[in-house]
């Protein structure tokens, strides 16, 4: 299978949704619980930008990649029964930019070319959806629909040799596989919790991000203020157990990497959904490649913007 195609599918995996308190003045220390409080029919349009810049120095030459994904998602509340929230998550749009030292490619699901394999995949993901079952604390209970998306893409792709089929299955699982969707949604709703908080309150959550850049993050959240039913929350994460897979360098590697992430989120306290978010992560260290120490930095920038849909 074409390496460019595989890398594009992999880089998409970095961008599965990152989505997530009642007074009208931040001067009052009003306590509330930032759990999910949705009603059937509520819908939220999300625009998510995810950018990953990697810099590695191999044999005296700096290798830089700068990849960005723009993702449009629609969250729709289906039901809330006995504390179990059912949400429909629809992919509205996907756009990928892959930039290397001398090349730059842009793939757009909304303007796809049938002869371009990457855009064929993106166009088939566009409009598809999964059903997610959550607790009021944002814990993922069950996911339905992921296998149907993968099967549809596999059938249309018409890969004939066994190796290409297996590679496509493995990398699609990173984008629409149940384990990946579960872990990323769990991370997305980590802000939600049942206990009462007020400005100055802090709490922690641990998450694992799985992709070609896999890492564990321990995050401390702090409620800064509440104004007009919007909570401002700051987050600081310690990143460890980083695994940067061979797609970055082309080699199987061992890693000595760690980092930090800082971000600010604004959450609608009525629904518990995040309405905006900005975060920056820096991961630094060395890769052990063929008995050589390769310096590596990974910068990850995320931007989330949301609005209530009609």
Domain containing 157 — which CATH number? Answer: 2.30.230
Taking the CA atoms of 114, 119, 123 and 125 in sequence, report the sign of the dihedral they define.
positive
Distance of CA 35 to the CA centre of its chain: 20
CA atoms within 13 A on the CB side of 234: 9
Overall number of domains in the chain = 1
Q: Is 168 exposed, middle or buried (0-12, 13-18, 19+ CB in 10 A)?
A: buried
Res 238: pLDDT: 95
Residue 41, sorted as left (phi over 0), alpha (psi -120 to 50) or beta, turns out to be left
pLDDT along the chain (310 residues), means of 10: 38 37 43 78 90 85 88 89 86 87 86 78 86 83 85 74 69 63 64 80 82 79 92 93 61 73 92 90 84 85 90
Res 1: pLDDT: 42
Range of the domain at 283: 3-20+23-309
Res 183: pLDDT: 63
pTM over 0.85: no
Res 271: pLDDT: 86
* Residues forming beta bridges with residue 227, ordered by sequence position: 230
Q: Is 151 exposed, middle or buried (0-12, 13-18, 19+ CB in 10 A)?
A: exposed
| 31/23 Cα distance (integer angstroms) | 9
């Amino acid at each position: 299978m074409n390496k460019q195609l595989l890398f594009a599918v992999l880089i998409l995996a970095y961008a599965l949704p990152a989505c997530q308190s009642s007074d009208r003045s931040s001067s009052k220390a009003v306590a509330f619980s930032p759990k999910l409080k949705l009603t059937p029919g509520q819908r939220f349009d999300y625009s998510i930008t995810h950018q990953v810049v990697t810099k590695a120095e191999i044999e005296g030459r700096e290798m830089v990649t700068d990849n960005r994904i723009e993702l449009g998602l629609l969250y729709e509340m289906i039901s809330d029964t006995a504390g179990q929230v059912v949400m429909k998550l629809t992919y509205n749009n996907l756009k990928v930019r892959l930039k290397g030292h001398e090349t730059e490619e842009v793939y757009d699901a909304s303007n796809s070319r049938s002869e371009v394999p990457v855009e064929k995949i993106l166009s088939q993901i566009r409009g598809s959806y999964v059903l997610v079952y959550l607790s009021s604390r944002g814990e993922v209970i069950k996911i339905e629909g992921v296998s149907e998306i993968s099967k549809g893409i596999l059938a249309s792709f018409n890969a004939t040799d066994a190796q290409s089929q297996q590679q496509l299955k493995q990398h699609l699982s990173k984008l629409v596989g149940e384990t990946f969707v579960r872990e990323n949604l769990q991370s997305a709703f980590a802000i939600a919790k049942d206990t009462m908080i007020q400005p100055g309150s802090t709490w922690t959550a641990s998450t694992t991000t799985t992709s070609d850049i896999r890492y564990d993050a321990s995050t401390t959240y702090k409620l800064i203020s509440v104004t007009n039913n919007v909570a401002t929350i700051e987050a600081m994460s310690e990143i460890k157990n980083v695994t940067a897979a061979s797609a970055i360098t082309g080699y199987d590697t061992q890693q000595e990497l760690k980092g930090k992430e800082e971000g600010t989120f604004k959450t609608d306290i009525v629904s518990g959904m995040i309405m905006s978010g900005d975060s920056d992560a820096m991961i630094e260290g060395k890769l052990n490649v063929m008995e050589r120490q390769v310096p590596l930095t990974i910068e990850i920038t995320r931007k989330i913007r949301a609005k209530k849909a009609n």
